[in-house]
Amino acid sequence: MQAIGKYQVIRELGRGASGKVYLAEDPFAKRQVAIKVAFPDALKHSEDGAFYRSMFMNEAALAGKLNHPHIVQIFDAVVEDQYSYIVMEFVEGGTLEKFCIAEQLLEPREIAEITFKCVRALAFAQTLGLTHRDLKPGNILHSDGTDIKIADFGASINKISDRTIITNVGSPAYMSPELVTGQAQASHNSDIYALGVVMYYLLAGRLPFAGANTMSVIYQIVNTDPEPPSTHRQGITPEIDKIVMKAMARDPAARFATWEEFGAALAETWKHEAANEKRDQSDTERFSLARTLPFFREFPENELWEVLRISKWAKFKPDTALIKEGDHGDSFFILAGGYVRVTRGKRTLNVLTAGDCFGEMSYLAQKKVAPHRSATVTTTSDCIVIKIRAEDLRAASLSCRRLFDERFLNTLVDRLENANEQLSVMS
Ligand SMILES: Nc1ncnc2c1ncn2[C@@H]1O[C@H](COP(=O)(O)OP(=O)(O)OP(=O)(O)O)[C@@H](O)[C@H]1O
């Protein structure tokens, strides 16, 4: 195949039950895309045809709707009698299946980070009323490090019964007890179970329940609890074991009640990493901390992930000068933890705390040459500082820039009011 519509095919990426996926070039947007082309027969014939057609149409219907950094974006969809395809974001590294093999397991902390990103993506999908219903390592694509994107939301629009999914997908390995017995419909709670199974597989290199046939696996899902992942691999902490077992609890009421609760448990595990360890903060910690800062209160999920992408985070000891009066500066800062003193000459102008920003004139001045810093900012305690280059914010999305503009305006108003008060006291 050389072209699919306006797209130039580069090579085949893989194939699933209902079609092939190709890497192609979008000549107008000038980017590489992945195109899932349905096998015409798979959509037409028999009972299975109705199932695959429904999955395909559902996925196509999501074009442009599910925009999240950890969800594969659907750009375009064409569903015609002859020819049906879905154009989506190309994710370079393939699926997480390759990390489920004993010799290629990821570190438990990387798995916790990946799971947290899945949790945030699924929490976002839930705000749009969507349940994934087909979570498995083969539906999670991987680009770099712990960067992942969930794919295949085709089953997420609730038009097909779960019975159909069991018969068509074959393996019930990721299905919760109440789904395999037909006692409940799919919900975010059964997705939490499925993500627990994914986490288990990535940690242990094996599924929680193995059996010679589907019936044996279903029997175990309904009647037994798996051994914790740490039985199969060293280096898994009791906390991580507990999270997996809670997500996979047989009783739905004993699982995490919400994605928020699941995410908070994952974030908690980082607090117990050796305190003086000189490691970079994880994205889980950064995201969770940023959400608590007043500066980002109005930032929706997507814009917060964008901030993480364009910022650098660093820890500083007390008495470190972060910026110096008179220097040129092309970055601004948001304090994520600790205290800093703002001074001009010998005079203290202000003391700032978590959630405050400084150095924002580098962005607001809009000059070609970075402006001079008008004050010195020195840490007075251990600090966590978020640094953003003015030019990176200028290249960010319009919605992200608007949110920053609003925050900076508020900060400037506060400072003006402060200055007026001080003036009135002096006069
Ligand atoms: N957006 C993408 N970017 C890069 N590779 C992709 C992308 N989507 C799919 N692939 C590759 O194509 C393969 C087939 O994907 P597809 O979703 O059709 O099938 P599947 O999920 O493996 O099976 P099924 O059709 O049963 O859901 C994947 O395993 C993956 O390697």
| pLDDT tens digits along 110-146 | 999 999 999 999 999 999 888 898 899 999 999 988 9
36 is in an annotated binding site: yes
pLDDT at 166: 47
Mean pLDDT of 272-283: 72
Q: Whose CA is nearest to atom 23 of ligand 1?
A: 16
Nearest Cα residue to atom 18 of ligand 1: 16
Could you tell me if 155 and 16 are in contact, meaning their C-beta atoms sit under 8 angstroms apart?
no
Active-site residues, by number, are 134
Average pLDDT score over the chain: 89
Quote ipTM for the complex: 0.94
pLDDT at 277: 61
Give helix then strand counts, H and E, for the chain.
Answer: 14, 16
Fold type of domain 3-89: Phosphorylase Kinase; domain 1 (3.30.200)
pLDDT digits (tens, 9 = 90+) for 142-168: 998 899 999 988 766 654 444 444 444
pLDDT at 275: 58
288-426 folds as: Jelly Rolls (2.60.120)
Render pLDDT for 332-377 as a digit per residue (tens, 0 to 9): 999 999 999 999 998 998 899 999 999 998 898 877 777 789 899 9
Q: Please list the residues that pair with 350 across neighbouring strands.
A: 342
Residue nearest to ligand 1 atom 1, measured at CA: 90
Q: Would you give the distance in Å from CA 9 to the centre of its chain?
A: 29
Q: Which CATH superfamily is domain 96-269 in?
A: Transferase(Phosphotransferase) domain 1 (1.10.510.10)
Cβ-contact 268, 235 below 8 angstroms = no
Domain residue extents for the chain? 3-89, 96-269, 288-426
In this prediction the pTM is: 0.89
242 C-beta closer than 6 A to ligand 1 = no
pLDDT band for 48, please (50, 70, 90 cuts).
low
**406: number of CA atoms within 13 Å, CB side?**
12
Residue from 9, 11, 12, 13 whose mutation best tests the ligand 1 pocket (most atoms within 8 A of CB):
13
pLDDT given for residue 45 in this prediction: 64
